[in-house]
């Protein structure tokens, strides 16, 4: 009987951070899917075979930020139950409050 590998979608525009998280997760036995932007992430999420068990998402990214990605995930009934961990270097209280409110 094979061990279930949970899948984590890593969304971060900083390649070194994305790869570091991916390597750590793979070393712990997880399947990691890495992408550098929100548009690519939404394309990955549209494929049921790539549906992750959890998403890690950077907040500060160009083109589509983490809040926009979170909104797209939460507004899709096929994806809205996937836990999302928001990652950021932002240190302001307003940023943490915004993440908790999901906006």
Q: Domain residues of the chain, as ranges?
A: 23-79
DSSP class of residue 46?
T
All residues at 6 or more sequence positions from 91 whose CB lies less than 8 Å from its CB, including other chains: none
- Residues 76 and 58: their CA atoms lie apart, in Å, by 20
The whole-number pLDDT of residue 88 equals 83
Angle at the Cα of 26 from the Cα atoms of 89 and 102, rounded to 5 degrees: 40
The topology under which CATH files domain 23-79 is Rossmann fold (3.40.50)
Tens-digit pLDDT profile for residues 25-74: 999 999 999 999 999 999 999 999 889 999 999 999 988 999 999 999 99
**Mean pLDDT, rounded, of the chain:** 87
């Amino acid at each position: 009987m094979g061990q279930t590998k949970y899948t984590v979608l890593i969304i971060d525009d900083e390649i070194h951070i994305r790869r570091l998280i991916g390597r750590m997760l793979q070393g712990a036995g997880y399947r990691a899917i890495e992408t550098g932007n929100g548009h690519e992430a939404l394309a990955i999420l549209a494929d049921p075979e790539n549906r992750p068990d959890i998403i890690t998402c950077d907040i500060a990214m160009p083109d589509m930020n983490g809040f926009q990605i979170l909104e797209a995930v939460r507004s899709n009934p096929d994806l809205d139950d996937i836990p999302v961990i928001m990652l950021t270097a932002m240190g302001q209280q307003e940023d943490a409050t915004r993440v908790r409110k999901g906006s």
